[in-house]
Amino acid sequence: MAERPPEENGMLGAVHTTLIERPKSALRNLVATESAGGLVLMGAALLAILVANTALYDNYDHLLHTYLGGFEYESGLSWKGLSVLHWINDGLMAIFFLLVGLEVKREMLDGQLSTWERRILPGAAAIGGMVAPALIFVAFNAGEPTLRAWAIPAATDIAFALGVLALLGKRVPVSLKVFLTAVAIIDDLGAIIIIALFYTAELNLVPLVMAFGLLGVLFFLNKRGVRTLWPYMVMGLVIWALMLVSGVHATLAGVAVALTIPMTKNPGHPDSVESPLHKLEHAIAPWVAFLIVPIFGFANAGLNFSGLELEMLWAPLVLGIAMGLFIGKQIGVFSVIWLLEKLNIVDYPARASVAQVYGVSLLCGIGFTMSLFIGNLAFVDMTYINEVKMGVLGGSLLSGIVGTLVLVFAQQERLEEEPDLPASDEVRTSAE
């Protein structure tokens, strides 16, 4: 199989380029990686918890609930108050979902997920990693009003997980980093579908129909060969505003608009290096990784421990989320991979031992960003939201710590068994 240049492989290419090749520009490659963004997100989450448990908590809470304005729809589109927290979760996160949509489109059409053969392993692992946590959550919350939050432990935070792998450096084969990224991309796609189907409020059909009409216009522009980005962005903002008041979560506008962005270069400019999709992705990726997602983490991870009681740790919601992430994810991901390998349907990622695959399966239980996001969709009551934070932080922390330990010990055993191959050999093996 011909080896595709790393720069043509989206997020997966960024992992290859940053971690394997000697960077031409250290800063450019640092900004381009999800792993580096994950480290920033970790810092933002820790800062939020610190602030929430100091004298600054009242200022923190007041800032997040300050109203700045927003849209509403009754007989027509009008302006109303939206808090800073809502603007972060409904506005900034739409850009995050735009990037997710761009990555999904590119990987499905011309990347690591472009053929069914390539999709089998990460696709099956992602499905197992969504079903098992959801079942564990349901087991803890059956018959409870918290059951509607069943999707919270089904998510994987790609930035956090790759951030942990970045800390491990060369202890983890490149093929596993590529595999984890592919699983997380499919996992994000599953989360998007879940949000659209199960976390949509009462619909206002008029703005929703208008939004779909504008999406149709964007698809038409794509088919007509319009490669200038500004029409897509301007209409994308209008689509976001319409979805905000339609009852469908506004962030899904980002995904919908991403699907309309052209992936082919402008035939009238043969010297053009990048397609519109590439240009947009490269333009917003640093902002998402180093600003938007950390802001979301800072705004949503602040858990004040002063009002919490020890028995809350045993609440069905907390246990369902924590055990879903820690137990459900590792069982769902690893068991599917193990079964498919035993049936000779797939092979383990190149140069990865069973223990290393298990360690990465554990890291899939880090469900920070998307889990908190779904939690905010599922609940309004602050008691439940605090329990969501406890479950997500607890399950993600357990998954990260245990997964890291497994990978460290797995690498030590591997070094005793065989010498390391040169980096160039590892890149070639993982690409085949």
Over its C-alpha atoms, the chain yields an Rg (Å, rounded) of 22
pLDDT, residue 431, reads 40
pLDDT, residue 373, reads 92
H or E element in which residue 13 lies: helix 10-19
Tell me the average pLDDT across 115-131: 90
Tell me the average pLDDT across 138-151: 94
The structural domains of the chain, with segments of one domain joined by +, span 6-431
Lowest model confidence (mean pLDDT) among 12-26, 36-50, 196-210: 12-26
pLDDT, residue 311, reads 79
Tell me the average pLDDT across 222-241: 93
pLDDT band of 417, cuts 50, 70, 90: low
Tell me the average pLDDT across 198-212: 86
pLDDT band of 251, cuts 50, 70, 90: confident
Q: Residue 314 corresponds to which tokens in the numbers above?
A: 């045993």
Residue 141 has pLDDT above 50, yes or no: yes
Residues 6 or more apart from 32 whose CB is under 8 A from it? 14, 17, 18, 282, 285, 286
pLDDT band of 111, cuts 50, 70, 90: confident
pLDDT, residue 74, reads 52
In Å, what is the CA distance from 228 to each residue of 138, 159, 211, 255, 305?
47, 30, 21, 19, 50
Share of the chain above pLDDT 90, in %: 45
pLDDT, residue 427, reads 39
pLDDT digits (tens, 9 = 90+) for 169-178: 777 888 888 8
Look up the CATH architecture of domain 6-431. Up-down Bundle (1.20)
pLDDT digits (tens, 9 = 90+) for 85-95: 889 998 999 99
CA-based nearest residue to 256, from 228, 306, 217, 288: 217
pLDDT band of 18, cuts 50, 70, 90: very low
Query: Three-state DSSP class for 33?
Result: coil
- The reply to whether the predicted model has a pTM over 0.75 is yes
DSSP string over 403-425: HHHHHHHHHHHHHHHSPPPPHHH
pLDDT band of 269, cuts 50, 70, 90: low
Q: How far apart are CA 112 and CA 8, in angstroms?
A: 10
More confident residue, 355 or 72: 355
Tell me the average pLDDT across 2-31: 40
pLDDT, residue 272, reads 58
